[in-house]
Structures are given as C-alpha cells and as structure tokens.
Chains A and B, each alone.
Chain A
Amino acid sequence: EDQVTQSPEALRLQEGESSSLNCSYTVSGLRGLFWYRQDPGKGPEFLFTLYSAGEEKEKERLKATLTKKESFLHITAPKPEDSATYLCAVHPNSGGSNYKLTFGKGTLLTVNP
C-alpha cells in the first residue's frame, strides 16, 4: 500500500530562519509528487509537482527537491505569511490508481515575526 510520511508534524521558526520539511514515500512506482499549501479554513493550494529523482523546483522562498525515497521542501528566510500546513502527496504509477493521490498528514509551519 502507498504510504506518505511527513516530518516534523509541526515546526516553529523565527522569521529569517531557514529550514526544511521532509516527505518520505513508499509507492510501487511514482508518476508524480505534489506539494500543497493549506491555510486554516481553506482548501489545499497547489505549489509544485516533481516527476523524477534529482528534479528541483522553486517558487519565491520555497524550493522542492526529490529523491527516490523522499522529497524536501526547503524554506529560505521565511516570513510570517509562509505560516501554513504543507501537504505532500504522491501519485502512484499503478493501474488502479491512475487518478488517486495519497496525502501525508502535513507539517504545520509557524513563522514568528
């Protein structure tokens, strides 16, 4: 069964203090790995898709990387507005799961001013 484990569950940073969030996954094959941001009371907002090991994508202060077993979301010099829950999801490469994303439980990031 496909599994996605995110760590830490919660992370508190000071403004400007860079850090990384981890997403470890176990799938039979990977079509894609997705990162979403979720603000309280809102739906998940798409950030990145990564398809193959070694791939990297950046958006403002965020950079996502992918290996064969895990993905990292690096946050450089975060600001309070980066506070949110960050969700990782995998899209497995198996016949019965063509449309199915399996999500991790998320990392709650709080950035203090």
Chain B
Amino acid sequence: DTAVSQTPKYLVTQMGNDKSIKCEQNLGHDTMYWYKQDSKKFLKIMFSYNNKELIINETVPNRFSPKSPDKAHLNLHINSLELGDSAVYFCASSQFVLGTGTQYFGPGTRLTVL
C-alpha cells in the first residue's frame, strides 16, 4: 500500500514541451512538497502546500506551477521545458505537528529533456 505515489516514474520529452507530474498521498497528511534532485544528488525544495494553500515558493522559474486540488494531491506542471530542467523530482508529505513533521517521500519522477 503505497504511501506517497508519483506518476509517471520516467518522463522523456523535447525542449519547449509542456508536461505534468502527479503526486498522491494516502497518509492523511495536510502538507505536501515538491523537491528537485539534480545530477549531483542535491535535494532542494521547490514548493510546499498546506491544506491546499501555497506556503513555500522557493526561487523557481515561473514556468513551474504547482497545483493542489485537495490535501491528498499535489501536481507539478512545467511549461516550455529546458535542458536544465532535467532532474529527478520528488513529492513528499508530512503531518505538520508543532513544526516538526517528518516528511515522507515518493519514488521520484526522472525527467529528461532532449
């Protein structure tokens, strides 16, 4: 029974295309996140939603747009894909409790832009 799931697992596309990645969690958490892990394996937060409200928006190009239709889902849409967007994107969720909620990660989506 997968706790945090992402689709697709692999995404290969051409420069300039628009693509979406979907994330779902069945843990009952109220906070969800998108992280980017680059080729050097450095994991960096991009966005976070708490109860469908955007609470973290790091310095990310506005070609990236997160959307949270409900507490269990957080999608990431990327417009006009560039070579530098190639990375692994991880979704995560946490139950925010006094600011110390442990984050649980999905399996990742490997995006390759050609």
Residues of A at the B interface (CB closer than 8 Å) are: 31-32, 34, 36, 41-46, 49, 51, 85, 87, 91, 93, 98-103, 105-106
Contacts and interface: CB of A to CB of B under 8 A. Distances in A.
A101 B45 contact: yes
Mostly, the B contact residues are strand
A31 B100 contact: yes
A42 B108 contact: yes
Interface of B: 4, 31, 33, 40-45, 48, 50, 55-56, 90, 92, 94, 96, 99-108
A100 B45 CA distance: 7
Given A99-B31, A100-B48, A103-B44, A43 B108 contact: yes
A46 B40 contact: no
Contacts of A36: 105
A49 B103 contact: no
Given A46-B102, A87-B43, A99 B108 contact: no
9 contacts: A43-B90, A43-B106, A43-B108, A87-B43, A99-B31, A99-B96, A100-B45, A102-B45, A106-B41
Contacts of A44: 43, 90, 105
